[in-house]
Amino acid sequence: MRASRCVSLLFLLMALLGSWAAMAQEFTIGDIRVEGLQRISAGTVFNYLPVKIGQRIEPRDTGAIIRALYKTGFFKDVRLEREGDVLIVFVQERPAIAKIEISGNKDIETEQLLAGLKDIGLTEGRVLNRFVLDKISQELKRQYFNNGKYGVRLETTVTPLERNRVAIDIDIREGETARIRNINIVGNRSFDQDDLLDGFELTPTDWLSFITSADQYSRQKLTGDLERLRSYYLDRGFINFKITSTQVTITPDKRDIYIAINIEEGDVYTISDIKLAGELVAPPEKFFPMIQIDRGNVFSRKQVTGSTERINTMLGDRGYAFANVNSVPEIDDEKREVALTFFVDPGKRVYVRRVNMKGNNSTRDEVLRREMRQLEAGWFSAEQVRNSRERLRRLGYFEEVNVETPAVPGSTDQVDVDVSVVEKRAGNLMAGVGLSQSQGVIFNASISQSNFLGTGKYVALGFDTSVANTMYRFSYINPYYTVDGISRGFVISYQKTDFDEVDTASYSLDKGQLGVNFGIPINETDRVRFTFDMFKLNYKVGNDASEEIKKFRRENGSDFLDFQLGVSWSHDSRDSTMMPTKGGVQRFSTTATIPGSDLKYYTVVYNQKRYFPLSKTFTLAFKGDVAYGDAYGDITRLPPWENFFAGGIKTVRGYQDFSLGPQDSKGDPLGGSMRIVGNAEILFPAPFKLVEKTVRLSIFADGGQVYDGETDIDLSDIRYSTGVSAFWLSPFGALVLSVALPLNDESEDEVQYFQFSFGSAF
């Protein structure tokens, strides 16, 4: 690099001496002519020239002219001459980069390497600057060093091409990735080193390293780990904790890395007092519940930060959009105590001038506005803005929903709420094939539009067919049948099911349905739904049907017309519908046929799923399901097709689908009037970055049983299993796999260790 600079300075000095000799006398410029241009236009040169026609020029001005043109980086030689009153500018252009080719790279993609070169000014179409060319090796090595490859070697070749262009070829020999062999923390007296390293992203090489790559050194990762180490101590009262030095040592063969971190712990400090100061726009009793810190407890930066954020949130919900809350510690080193003062600066109370929508090219404006909880001309509320964003996301019409609250220019007490969305394709035309162990091959096709003509209404038409089940269905839902958010929907369907094909009792059922439903929102997460359905049913008994199946037809007939009322309540606070990590969903529903129906019965079902984040990686999930049904009036028990079943990948894994519970006289599963199912799982993403957003693994324990309602419930009959499961949200549908070991199966139970379901059916 120094040699290149010396050559450039020599050229500049020679140009200045030559130009000085050519223009030994001052003169007035009558015209300017540029010679030697190939790709660069004369207009570009004139824009950078510090002189104009009609300007008087002296010999000492030539240096400024040449330096101005050199500074553009376009030229490798500049010379000035005079011909009468004409200033002649002779230039020699630097070559342009025609192409950059990179070979030998495996660990880092070519696009990523080219992006790094572009950041330093080296890209196709640009002028080749020798100073930048010298930085190629430095930039590419920086990228490889960040990936732990310290033995990388680079060879750069510049090949001249026609029309003053060049091709740059970069050959890379990556070498082996350096692995972390040891991380040592020096100075830790209060905590074991293994406990401190548990929070690190970087780890020494172990048996999982080939999957996680956590043993590959990265400066950015180490910086993050040092901050986590600092937080670990500050959250436990070590307010004067320091990291005095960090040494990263690499072996001569560039393969092994050793990291040493030197620390000073200091002493543990406790909270002596908690005070409020500043402008309190609400009574102190509104603030102190937000401060979840107790006097006498060990100081924790995490608790202090959380308290500050909660106060800010409370003020934001009261309209103080630009509130600022700072915690000011007063440290007493002798007593090892900290007195905390939360200084509140609420700023002015803010109201919303306008709510602006952008990006809804197909969706009508009113569809978005009816989900907004933050209204125009009202006081700003951070909570209502968050609720508005979440409601828009839950619609399912948009890939992205972003909400910003910029201040109104020239005003100190107004903001706008700017909502920008990226729309999904509103319609779906799908055809596919699924596979289920209980139903065999499933063919399905559907056409649906969740945002019909941009109105927010849902319209769908589809069919599914398998060995056991055939269904045709049309449904329509208007989520805002009234301005209050009451929904109304209609359903028309026909279903034919052969229960013998799913290894249950020998009968089949043809069912036609015509129904209407209404949904009433209670709050942001709760909803009540009412349904009224009319069913036309034809009950067919197989040739080898059991006595229980024949008895129901003998006592009640085979053709039925039933009218059914239903009411349900649902609560959904999950952070994701497909792969939740927190929150939960609950649903309670009851249905009953009304007088005038051929069959009189009712069912009550309650199920819930709860998710608790254990860490950024692991989630604990619980699922419970309780269902009960019974007959009233002329019939003595539930119709066979309304019985509850258990067993299989959706209830108790390790047991064959529908196999648990009462059996008929032929030994086939008959189902029962009561079901109890429970499940506990530890969920975690797949350890491969490419699929971590679509693949989820779990370790589970299941339990459940079905009872006939005529005998006492014996909890000792509950069947248990444990195992591992995988869920893959593939482009062709959801694939669920499980390998389960039954824990207390009996001789009459049908065990199935491996189970799967691919695709979905109605």
Q: Assign residue 293 the CATH number of its domain.
A: 3.10.20.310
Q: Are 531 and 591 in contact (CB under 8 A)?
A: yes
Give ∠ CA 581-583-587 in degrees, rounded to 5: 125
Q: Residue 410 domain-assigned?
A: yes
Q: Are residues 244 and 122 in the same domain?
A: no
Q: Residue 428 domain-assigned?
A: no
Structural domain that includes position 227: 179-264
Q: Residue 432 domain-assigned?
A: no
Q: Are residues 535 and 467 in the same domain?
A: yes
- DSSP β-bridge partners for residue 81: 88
Q: Are residues 63 and 106 in the same domain?
A: no
Q: Are 256 and 205 in contact (CB under 8 A)?
A: no
Looking at residue 551, the DSSP 8-state letter turns out to be: H
Q: Are residues 114 and 260 in the same domain?
A: no
- Dist. CA 396–CA 426, nearest whole Å: 9
Count of domains for the chain = 6
Q: Residue 430 domain-assigned?
A: no
Q: Residue 431 domain-assigned?
A: no
Q: Are 226 and 243 in contact (CB under 8 A)?
A: yes
Q: Are residues 675 and 744 in the same domain?
A: yes
**The domain boundary residue, chosen from 264, 291, 322:** 264
> Would you state the pLDDT for residue 731?
64
Q: Are residues 453 and 579 in the same domain?
A: yes
Half-sphere exposure of 595 (CA within 13 A, CB side): 0
Q: Residue 43 domain-assigned?
A: yes
> Per the structure block, which two tokens stand in for 517?
């439903």
Bridge-based pairing of strands 507-521 and 440-449 is unpaired
Q: Are residues 337 and 359 in the same domain?
A: no
**The domain boundary residue, chosen from 173, 206, 232:** 173
> Would you state the pLDDT for residue 705?
95
> Would you state the pLDDT for residue 442?
46
Q: Are residues 506 and 475 in the same domain?
A: yes
Q: Are residues 751 and 663 in the same domain?
A: yes
Q: Are residues 491 and 410 in the same domain?
A: no
> Would you state the pLDDT for residue 4?
47
Q: Residue 512 domain-assigned?
A: yes
CA torsion 197-202-207-213 (nearest 10°) is 160
Q: Are 94 and 75 in contact (CB under 8 A)?
A: yes
Residue 306, Cβ neighbours under 10 Å: how many?
Answer: 15
Mean pLDDT by 10 residues, the chain (762 residues): 47 49 71 86 87 86 86 85 88 86 84 81 77 76 77 85 86 83 93 91 78 76 92 94 93 88 95 92 89 92 93 90 91 93 92 92 88 89 88 81 90 91 64 44 58 84 72 90 92 87 78 96 91 95 85 91 96 81 93 94 96 89 95 88 91 90 86 94 82 85 90 85 89 78 90 74 30
> Would you state the pLDDT for residue 431?
43
**The domain boundary residue, chosen from 345, 367, 387:** 345
Q: Are 370 and 459 in contact (CB under 8 A)?
A: no
Q: Are residues 309 and 394 in the same domain?
A: no
Q: Are residues 405 and 545 in the same domain?
A: no
Q: Residue 405 domain-assigned?
A: yes
